[in-house]
Amino acid sequence: MRYHKAMPDSSLFPNQPSRRALLGALGAFVAAFACATSLARAVTYEVTHTDAEWHKILSPEQYIILRESGTERAFSSPLDEEKRAGTYECAGCRLALYDSSTKYDSGTGWPSFFRPLPNAVLTSVDTSFGEVRNEVHCRRCGSHLGHVFDDGPKPTGLRYCMNGLALIFILRS
């Protein structure tokens, strides 16, 4: 670190990357590496809150699902039966996640969709409960929403199995 001691102002040497730039590059590398193993845990989300703030934003039941990757009881959400036209938003940050035109009755007891809206969700591998499942998170706030399976209908063949408590339905007027 002799260089830094002798020349504390690195802007005197424009060809030298600043310490901040170096740290930024290192951070990007670490994030990219971590992404390979756990996307949801590694990225920095646009919307972030402290744990105390999340407790204020969400009900206790929503907190368990969105922030602790819990799962609501099957057939417990009124949104499972919702058939009206509208948009389903993230209960954590209100990002629009699904359009009603992609919702279908999967018979599982959870609101199910065959396709999210563009740039709405991220997935990561979840190995809890002794099985490999693809966990679905909100792209903007990272909240856990549910899982995606490959037994859905055409045209995608995907089933986005969502917790109703993670969604807010906005009726299209």
Q: Which residues bind Zn ion (CB under 5 A)?
A: 90, 92-93, 95, 138, 140-141, 143
**Whether 35 is catalytic:** no
| Shortest distance, position 46 Cβ to Zn ion, whole Å | 9
Q: Min. distance of Cβ 130 from Zn ion in angstroms?
A: 28
CB of 110 to Zn ion, least distance (A): 18
Contact partners, residue 95, CB within 8 Å, separation at least 6? 89, 120, 138, 139, 140, 141
CB of 22 to Zn ion, least distance (A): 32
Query: Cα–Cα distance between 170 and 167 in angstroms, integer?
Result: 10
Cβ proximity to Zn ion, 95 vs 167, nearer residue: 95
Cβ closest to Zn ion, residue 5 vs residue 56: 56
Q: Do residues 110 and 162 lie in contact, with contact meaning Cβ atoms separated by under 8 Å? A: yes
Q: How many residues are listed for the chain in this entry?
A: 173
CA distance 73 to 8: 59
Q: Of 142 and 152, which CB lies nearer to Zn ion in the complex structure?
A: 142
The whole-angstrom separation of Cα 30 and Cα 4 is 24
Q: CA nearest 137: which of 114, 108, 160? A: 160
Residues annotated as catalytic are 161
